[in-house]
Structure 1
Amino acid sequence: MNGNAPIKVLLVDDEGLVRSGFRLLLELEDDIEVVGEAANGAEAVEQARATRPDVVLMDIRMPKLDGIQATRQIAATQGLHQVRVLILTTYDTDAYVFEGLQAGASGFLLKDAGPAELLHGIRVVAAGDSLLAPRITRRLISQFTARRTADQAAEARLAALTGREREVLTLVGKGMSNDEIGGELFLSPATARTHVSKAMMKLGARDRAQLVVIAYQTGLVSPQGS
């Protein structure tokens, strides 16, 4: 994304009042531009293709096509690789959030997040980082990965990583930032970022959020240890 251009945001929610509220908030910001709205997942995919937003604020429960399916379609659409999906959910026990991360979302926020938290989330995701609400991320991912065992392909999947990249992936899975990873492994933040980028490329991860999912799925990070 061009650092001088406003962040283009697509609003997706089946409630018109919710979309209007978000629009009013976002239009007050000089660095954010609302480029479209959608009332269901099918419209979200169409609007994403038409407007090429930087960030999609995506509700989960919608008619015709839910937010998870819409996220999956957007992530798989040629030309939309740079589109980031930020899922908004009402409940902190929402089982669909983990599926959303697997589908390609860059993170999620609770709908009761304050204006400052929402604006911060949009800017973080637009910059290419993941946003995993600290109130629920660790417990939520643990809850749903605890029901899945690391499959037999886990070691094969990780075989492409160097030992250092595997260490970095483990720390990403524990929620550490590049600065924290650097401190833990005695690396500069820039070097830590390089290792994270290489791990993303080798594992085919869209962003940091998917690295967290992979770290749990492959057993590098155990739910009990979180």
Structure 2
Amino acid sequence: MLKLENENVLLHQEIKVLKLKLSRVQNNRDQLETELSIIRAENDELKTIVYTLEKRLTQETPILSPQIDTPVSENSFENGSIKSYGKKEQEPEFFSETGPDFDSKWYKNICIAKSHPNYIVLRNCSQVEHQSLDDFIFFRTVDGKETVSGCPFPEGVIIPPQSEFTIYSDHPGARNVYGKSCILHRYNTFGSGKVTENIILDETAKETANYILCVFQE
């Protein structure tokens, strides 16, 4: 009989311990559920912010259309005839923060002022912003095929507002003048054809880089 009473006492003690542990587990569960609810609310808020920013980016950052349909002849270049693209009163507003550390962001103000088999003249159309070329890549295609892999411009090239910068192919008359011109030694000639400027987008339609694209038929 005494043994049975002792077993009952021990059993009640174990029950008390189990109830205490169960209470702690329940309290921890309630606390975790509260924290999870807060995290979910913050996650939903972040999703809303991201969606709003992406929608605004889509509205404020249109995909650029080609700016040149017909190349400028060599004679027109030598005679000083310049075909300019883009209105001065319209300042490009879109930019990327993934570019080089030039004012923490690089602005998109470039247009192609002249084209020739031996050179291409870029112009900074902005009246106030400097334009870095560190994020620009030069491509050349002939009959739809890329003849040379993408060629970046020399680092540190910055075009002042309303100024021009000449890109030369590697030919005898090419000139490499700091701040004025550079030579892309991968190309003996750019050929003749349509020269366009555009942007590269990744799979999420976000801007990743700029390129000067030469599309030629030879």
Task: Give TM class, smaller chain.
Answer: under 0.3
Structure with the larger helix share? 1
Larger radius of gyration: 2
Structure with the larger strand share? 2
Alignment TM-score, normalising by the size of structure 1:
0.23
